Each structure stands twice: as C-alpha cells, then as structure tokens.
C-alpha cells in the first residue's frame, strides 16, 4: 500500500489496482491534477479508505484482485459511505460483470484498457472544478 499525506488543496483519488503497470498508467493520467494513493488489493483499499476516506473524492476500484476482490471491497465501503463515487475498472467487458459491479455499489464502470479520455471524463463528473 502506497500511503502519504495528501495535499488538502488537491483532489484525492484512492486507487485499488493489483497490476503495477496499470497503476502507473492511471497515476500518469491523473497525478498532475490529483493526489493518488495506491492499494494493491481490496483489503488494502479498505485500510486506505479507513485512513483517508473523509478526504477522498473518488475511489477507482479494480474488480479482480488478490486477497479481496473489488466487488467485496465496494460492498463494504458502500455500507458506511453511500455517497462516495466508486468507479470500477475491469477487463471483463461482459454486461453481466458490469451489472455485478453496479449491484455491489459501483457508481460507474470503465472497461480496460482504460483510455486517457475515458478516465478523465469520468473523474470530471465527480470532482467539481477538475479540469485537464
């Protein structure tokens, strides 16, 4: 888990992604405008959310991760935080997989590979004043 003290003047995005290269891509797309904290699995995301949830603007949640998957982490976070935007990212493009994510509490589903425009457009919906 990558954790640092976020800058309160910048939006904070918590990212759950088990693949380091995918995380680096996400960070490269948004890091110049937002602070980014990284969890490598659903359990680490729960820990990050416990530490920084009140400051977080958006959660980016991979579905398939070790230890705890993104669906379970999303369900747990949703129980205590019904309003935090949770953008699920998945390589599984089937309608059923996207529906499972929405039922678990996802706000939106992005299909991998995530493009620069798709991620930025999604984040702009949930972070007021965010521009690219």
Segment 47-85, tens digit of pLDDT: 999 999 999 999 999 999 999 999 999 999 999 999 999
Average pLDDT over residues 116-128: 95
Q: What is the pLDDT of residue 9?
A: 82
Q: Which residue do the tokens 């996400």 mark?
A: 26
For the chain, list the domains and their CATH numbers. Answer: 12-117 (3.40.50.2300)
Q: Under a CB-based contact definition with an 8 Å cutoff, are residues 30 and 110 in contact?
A: no
Decide if pLDDT at 132 tops 90: no
Task: Report if pTM > 0.85.
Answer: yes
pLDDT tens, position by position, 1-37: 665 666 668 999 999 999 999 999 999 999 789 999 9
Q: Is 123 helix (H, G, I), strand (E, B) or coil?
A: helix
Per DSSP, what are the bridge partners of residue 36? 13
H or E segment and range at residue 87: strand 86-90
**pLDDT tier at 93, thresholds 50, 70, 90:** confident
| Cα dihedral 119, 107, 31, 29 in deg (nearest 10) | -10
Q: Is 61 helix (H, G, I), strand (E, B) or coil?
A: strand
């Amino acid at each position: 888990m990558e954790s640092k003290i976020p800058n309160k003047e910048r939006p904070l995005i918590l990212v759950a992604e088990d693949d380091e290269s995918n995380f680096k891509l996400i960070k490269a797309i948004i890091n110049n405008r937002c602070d980014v904290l990284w969890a490598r699995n659903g359990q680490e995301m729960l820990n990050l959310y416990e530490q920084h949830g009140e400051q977080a603007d958006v959660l980016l949640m991979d579905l398939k991760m070790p230890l705890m998957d993104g669906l379970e982490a999303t369900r747990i976070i949703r129980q205590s935080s019904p309003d935090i935007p949770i953008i699920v990212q998945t390589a599984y493009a089937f309608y059923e997989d996207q529906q499972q994510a929405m039922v678990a509490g996802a706000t939106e589903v992005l299909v991998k590979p995530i493009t620069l425009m798709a991620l930025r457009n999604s984040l702009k919906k949930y972070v007021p004043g965010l521009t690219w």
